[in-house]
Chain A
Amino acid sequence: MTNHQMVMYEEEFNKIQQVCDRLVKDANAQVVFIVDKNGQLIAASGDIDQLDTTSLASLTAGNIAATGGMAKLLKENEFATQFHEGESSNIHIQIVGQRVILVVIFDNRSSLGLVRLRVRKANEELTKIFESLLQKVADPAQPSPFDEITDEDIENLFKD
């Protein structure tokens, strides 16, 4: 299981956050967030105070997983892009580097064309950042928070 672990470091997080912040502005979006394919929220930007981002992250991952299952049945590698149109809000979903999901929520102050254009650029940037992050994670010299955690720490967490 070791090679499946996802780790986010401060340096890469800041870069990812910058891309999200910029995408909110450039695409006139309400919210931008990034989720890993297992539903863990990685970064979020925009008007997120009133938004249940944890739930959205989990449902986005479920959505991508289901769509990926459909793609497999059709012998497609994946459906990398999805768009859901609502009455006032729309969601654009893009798989980045086959690993994470970039979600843009926007209203009529923006347009699908603009969002697609800006997402394409952000996708390129994010792909590079996640590639370098994965290399860093694979480096056995990187410390793990678990290096310092003792069995006693774990026991203490479950004391009644």
Chain B
Amino acid sequence: METGRLSPAAMVAITVLRVLVGWHFLYEGIAKLTSPSWSAVGYLKVSRGPFSGFFKYLASHPNLLANADLITMWGLTIVGALLILGLFTRLASLAGIGFVLLFYFANPPFVGYFYSLPSEGSYLIVNKNLVEVAALAVIFLTGSGRFAGLDRILHLLFSRRPRLAGA
């Protein structure tokens, strides 16, 4: 095997990772869409850390908040479905990274921060959001959709340039 190229087994593992992360996104999105009164307002209001000003600003402006709520609900749902299907995988991973980083920085588990809302685990700087960001980075960089996903079909149908060996 050439250096720098992942074995099919590794690619299968990354594809499984992609489907799992996609599943999580999709359900987070759909659960919000189907809840009659979901809004990010509570999460934004208790925001802490260097960017809390921005998040609190969002929470206190109904127009912005309504848009942020819509973007979050639909964004998570769409990104989730795309990741599962392996369609526009790189774009979806980037969008996913954007979303989760926002969630991470709204309430970051930084050293010296103590939250009263219970979370299901114990976190210091690294929480599951950050791990999901890293997972999405791997998915982005390995182009998992072209291994197993609709991107493979799209790519072969529409790519005009000759493919380079080992690319």
The finding on whether chains A and B are genuine partners in a shared complex, rather than unrelated, reads no
